Structure 1
Amino acid sequence: MDKLQYSLRDFIYALMALVLPCCFIWGIAILSLNLFVVLFLAVIFLYLGIEINYLLSKFKSPPPSPLYAFYRLMSFLMAIYIFTVFMSAVYTSEIIFLSDFAIKFSNVISYFAIFCTFGIFIWFLFEVVFGLYKYIKDPVKITNKRELFEAAFILFISLFTTLILPDIIFGILYSLSLSLIDNKILEMENSIFEFSYTSFLIHYGLPLNSETIQAYIKLINEHTLNRVLQVLHIIICEFLDLTFVAISINYFLNFINSFKNSGNKGAS
């Protein structure tokens, strides 16, 4: 009889499945353990975000690779949110070592969470764009009209995503970074749309005629964190425009050449 082989990941997942219910029960029974249960949840979501590709690959029909990026983003954001809740609770608690640590390094922890959030969203952006371009089919390999339509549709979606998604992502990051200066920003209606539009104007260097947009740009230029974010925004958008947009144009020209070649063969 063959022995079952288990990987290290399988042991980790089994350990998580066993420990999590125990921690939850202990946290309810002994209130001082609630903080450690919360911290353990943050670690679990962090690990799930790192191993999301492995987990989704176990399904019989795995989702498209761009969705992997979405699930990873949600897991990492949950980990940061739960960790923030943990640190806020520790800050107001009377646990000598932890509360002193939270008070002393509160600024460092805050900036660490902010930069981690920035990094997660930027990683999500690249993972979606790279994932989409994996599905673009070489025009030479297209054999029928259905494959031609699918290839053209994926090419359009990839190009549209490359042009629009960076500004949406950085619009979200601008709203988060500016909310540290003014808490009312997140309470605004359509704040994501407003800052995505602002991000779009910064990306393409369009004129800033609105007084509201000019006020946002002034806030961005007056604070170091927002300046760093703006520099990252411009560099990443230029990189994507010069690489993936160029790849899309190259595929489009190959489509045209394939049509010409098929027309010449038909005429001959």
Structure 2
Amino acid sequence: MAEPGSLMDASCIRFDAASELIAQRDPAITRLAALDLLVRAVWNGDFEPPPLSLDWPTPAQHEARAHPDAWMFVPISVPRVLLTKEQAALSIRPVELYKAGRDTIINVMHCNGHLPGDAEGWHALLDWKVEESARRQAEALSALARIPVSAYSAEARDYLASLIIPRAKLQAWLDSCSANFHGLFVPAERAAPAPPDAANDTGEAATSHRRGRPVLAAWPRIEAAAHQINREHPDLPRKVLAGQLHALALSEFDEDDVPNEATILRRLGSILGDAGASSQNEA
């Protein structure tokens, strides 16, 4: 459930501003592509607050959820019951920022007609009166995580761009995906590590990378998806994972922006921090 929140300092950032900074750090990524990565992360649950145990939440869990960096902030129209008669009569409803997770975001966008495609299809998944509503909502979130942000209406993209996230939460997610954005939103405590693929390149490829070869646009998406799939299926063979990542990238990017499957497999070790396992699968 969404709770009212407030932004009293510069510890948070809007998605549109974050997308701009990501694109500035890596010219191979456009602002729209950066926004796409952030939106997919929302639907994948990467920015959710710490969970509570269903049976008996602990004080530590409540404390974690009360931390300033635990929640995203989303703009939601103020309920009419909280407005004066004159305020409720305005053609544009007042908006307030609320602490919320992805379940709230999807429901707000559904109510406002901001989900991509036909409203009837989403209603079949998100109507709270249908059977197995929790399963259907999970299916809706899973579908949205695989729909590019370009499929949304301009108004919906504006709404997604207005989502606000704590800089520390965003930085932690970026660091789990790639070393290219270390210290972008939160000052780095130490020098940023070398790009994860540099140690695995050899010969001319490594030389050209060190000389500033442009990073293919699909790499950030591949790295983020690699971590997600590995968390969900830790026993998946690396060759199978590389094939899935290659197919995913081809479905979302131009072929010229996607590394070949062998390159993805070779770099999985450094991306996931298990070079030994990657080398074994590559042999």
Pairwise same-fold verdict (TM > 0.5): no
Larger helix percent: 1
Larger strand percent: 2
Q: Please tell me the TM-score bracket, short chain as reference.
A: under 0.3
| TM-score of the superposed pair, with normalisation by structure 2 | 0.25
Higher relative contact order (CA 8 A, sep 6+): 2
